[in-house]
Amino acid sequence: MRLLARVLALLAALSLVAQPAAAQSILRDAETEALLDDMAAPLIEAAGLQPSNVDIVLIGDQSLNAFVAGGQAIYIHTGLLDAADSAEEVQGVIAHELGHITGGHIINSAGTSEASGISIMSLVLAAAAAAAGAGDAAMGVLMAGQRAALGKYLAFSRAQESAADAAGAEYLSKAGISGRGSLAFFRKLQSMEFRYGYNPTDEDAFSTTHPLSGDRLARLTETYQVDPAWEKPADAALQKRFELVKAKLAGYTEEPAKTLRDFPETDTSLPARYARAYAFHKDALVDRSLAESRALIAAEPDNPYFLELAGQVLLESGRPDEALEPLRRAIELTSNAPLIAALFGHALIATEDTTNHAEAETVLKAAVARDRYNPFAWYQLGVIYAAQGDMPRARLASAEQQSMSRRYGEALRSAQAAQAGLPTGSPDWIRAQDIELQARGELERQKKRR
């Protein structure tokens, strides 16, 4: 039984090599999402895909990583944005990940299937040897089979990475973006290898999931330096936005003390003020956070994200009435960006002035119509429906929010309660039925996994 358990564990390890960790959290921010979408759009078009069909998802994780995990979605860690010095570096990463998408490099595809096949065969042979009383031989067969399986997987993974490198270079070229950023990012990876004591040799080239960074740099340097876009200047406006987003994320994700060391008050640049505004807000230093926010707005009065920040600080410090003006202006400037609209709706409700409810309902309905995957907006919309005495729709909004938060038992009950009060066959009734079916299915899957 111990031998079987070990075999199953090894097989599981092979099938989970590149899967994202369930504990990782998705970060939603209107400014960051707009920036990533704008950075990716020309590359997506160069790859022959539609920008509206490709999602760039930000993961709250400080490790330097990006990946695809099926479908047309690219996941980027906050740690990668923090490590990058330019928008071009991130675009190089996005181009590479698009190469995985267009190449069909999905988890558990051909290479991993072959590796698993070898592992299963080694299990059969090992079991036969064990049954014949040859325990040592059984372990030898098993380990040889696992080495063959691992080798097969690693070779397949390296081939995928090389193909994605080549495709990424092609997409950068078609989009007219220099490969300088891509090379700079690979040099960072190579420096990290040396920093952590990894000095790869030719033998190591056969025991890794990726080609060696030095080999990749050599191949890509040849490709990029002859490309017409090589000497093209970087997009200054995109770089400015990138630096602001980097600072914003630092202020949001780092401990305030670290942010204030990295962005001291002697630094009056916009990125530094942005980072400090978030750090002071996290430390409940409202006046200092507002001072930085107002300095940002004074520098760029029509920057919707500076206005959003001021509104957020005012709202979360118990001053929702004062938050309305900057948030209303922010949604006007962004044409009702759903995440900002949800915050504005929350501020309208938080004033406790019932005359604001009609505007809040309009704003929140528009927010969920454009972005259904926003549990905060659904929760706020449920509050409005409940205040109006429309409990069936309040329960439907709760079911939406609970389903997205993976609270399937609660979602099931809310969806059933919504159906009981909604007109049979109406769009809302059908949606409640869909959520009920989804919740039942998820609960059944959870039960089977136990």
Domain ranges of the chain: 2-225, 247-449
Whether 208 shows a pLDDT value over 80: the answer reads no
* Mean pLDDT value of segment 296-309: 98
* Best CA proximity match to 156, nearest among 195, 191, 200, 206: 206
Q: Specify the pTM.
A: 0.80
* pLDDT of 230: 94
Quick: pLDDT tens for 217-262.
Answer: 888 888 899 999 999 999 999 999 999 999 999 999 999 999 999 9
Handedness of CA 140, 141, 142, 148 (dihedral sign): positive
* pLDDT of 395: 98
Quick: pLDDT tens for 152-203.
Answer: 444 445 567 878 888 999 999 999 999 999 999 988 887 876 665 555 544 4
Least confident of 15-19, 342-346, 392-396: 15-19
Greatest pairwise CA separation for the chain in angstroms:
83
* pLDDT of 18: 34
Higher per-residue confidence, 438 vs 213: 438
* pLDDT of 375: 93
Position 119 confidence tier, pLDDT thresholds 50, 70, 90: very low
Whether residue 111 contacts residue 175, with contact meaning beta carbons closer than 8 Å, is answered with no
Facing residues of 75 across strands? 57, 67
* Mean pLDDT value of segment 2-17: 34
Cβ partners under 8 Å of residue 315, min gap 6 = 323, 327, 343, 346, 347, 350
**Which string of DSSP letters, residue by residue, matches 307-342?**
HHHHHHHHHHTT-HHHHHHHHHHHHHHTTS-HHHHH
Q: How far is CA 11 from CA 112, 117, 118, in A?
A: 10, 10, 10
* pLDDT of 192: 74
The sheet with strand 55-60 has its strands ordered as: 25-27, 55-60, 73-77, 66-68
* Mean pLDDT value of segment 103-112: 56
* Mean pLDDT value of segment 409-433: 97
Euclidean distance between CA atoms 1 and 272, whole angstroms = 59
Whether 426 shows a pLDDT value over 70: the answer reads yes
Euclidean distance between CA atoms 291 and 211, whole angstroms = 49
User: Which class is 247-449 in CATH?
Assistant: mainly alpha
Whether residue 379 contacts residue 397, with contact meaning beta carbons closer than 8 Å, is answered with yes
Q: Which residue has the tokens 């691992």?
A: 150
Question: Tokens at residue 340, please?
Answer: 């900002």
pLDDT averaged over every residue in the chain: 84
Quick: pLDDT tens for 279-300.
Answer: 999 999 999 999 999 999 999 9
Whether residue 247 contacts residue 276, with contact meaning beta carbons closer than 8 Å, is answered with no
Least confident of 212-226, 331-345, 378-392: 212-226
